[in-house]
Chains A and B, each alone.
Chain A
Amino acid sequence: MNSKELINYMKSTFGEPMVEVVDLKKYFPVKGVFRTIGYVRAVDGVSFIVPKGKTLGLVGESGCGKTTTGRLILRLIEPTSGHVYFDGKDIFKLKGKKLLEFRRKAQMVFQDPYMSLDPRMTVFDIIMEPIRAHKIKVEDPQKFVVNLLYEVGLNETHLYRYPHEFSGGQRQRIAVARVLALEPEFIVLDEPTSALDVSVQAQILNMLKDLQAKRGLTYLFISHDLGVVRYMSDYIAVMYLGKIVEMGPAEEVFEKPLHPYTKMLFASMPVPDPFEAKKKPKVEVIGEPPSPINPPPGCRFHPRCQYAMDICRKKEPPLVMAEKGHFVACWLYAKK
């Protein structure tokens, strides 16, 4: 199955796409003293779609390329090769006004609310910044900002304060308000709650869900926390070393994971319930993720896989549809 067919399959089962990612690659050069001595294959040929009005959860461990994928989709960095279509338009070909238009529609909320807000700006300035950057006319800026603050659960007393006066959860609310100011259609949420405490995390997650329902937003939700991803996502994609190894509707993937890596990941994640924890299938975790500079040949997971076969060491498994709407890249399920 080539990537075009794959995308078409996905469209037919997941619905109309907001974002289409085709064969996206990003290699970061590793610089030696005199020359480039290798490449970190952060994202190495991924294809998927984000269906309109839905949430796609992108899961994986650190260094698997999920954040790089998110940044590529917003063109915060340029790809090595591949395409991203937003509303049918290739975003890497956009220029000038069209690019600014895209920047308005597609937004990002970052992981660390302590770093993503300029410490020298007041909340008012922070939220007005995108409005000023896009030269959008707002009749009463103060009222406009206060309305946004209400929408994210803050109020007008917070208007002229600095980020350091807020807790992590409140800062993340400010970051969301800033993004909402531009009335985007698509938001990349890059681990928006991983720096927060659980009780606050639940507040933010529920707020994001409410906003999605109210404004019809499309989310790409990047996280390493499986519980959070399951709570938020309609569809999930699991990444390992720059590749998508499994993708499908969230419930189905969580209930019936197919790829050995997904199984290992799910089994490693501790369950916050001692009774469920005992029932959880035991999967032995072998080894550590190899370096993305020199990924293993064939299937990248084979050195850690208990089902590794001969073919796994030689040929890379393609992403195929194992069941309706459930895609997996593993020789156990692919035709050799």
Chain B
Amino acid sequence: MILDATVDGQRHRVEVVGGRGRYTVTLDGRALDVDWQPGPGPFASLVVGGRSHDIGLEPWSGGYRVLVAGHEFDVELSETTGAGPENPRPAPAGPARLTAPMPGRIVRLLAEPGQEVQAGQGLVVMEAMKMENELRSPRAGRVAEVHVRERQTIETGALLVVVE
């Protein structure tokens, strides 16, 4: 199986073959022989060239979140496009959608539709876990839509504001 893996903003081509605890993972043309011991639960043990790695692994948007030796990685996986390794991903274009990073309550709206805003300018003040958090505009532009009102209770992922 050949995949594109994106981690830390870099794309890598990864090929994996094998089974029953023995795999060869070819990463950007470099082959690693992996002794793979899954479990318990979402944990796994990898021994690569005699080096032991104790990891945690869980499904995460578009791939896996992997914990390795105190570090955390969001590894995005996709069917390979045939592009070479290490191509940085293009910057997202089009309207930017500000969504709620956690459940909570809208305390104040700091921008209204039509208003010009700077990147990093506060758009919404949200209260969660007893703290007021200012959520900022992901980019400069004009506020196109405001989807919440003050004192409204919202869930994670709720669309708050669209900036064009």
A and B: interacting chains: no
A contacts, CB < 8 Å to B = none
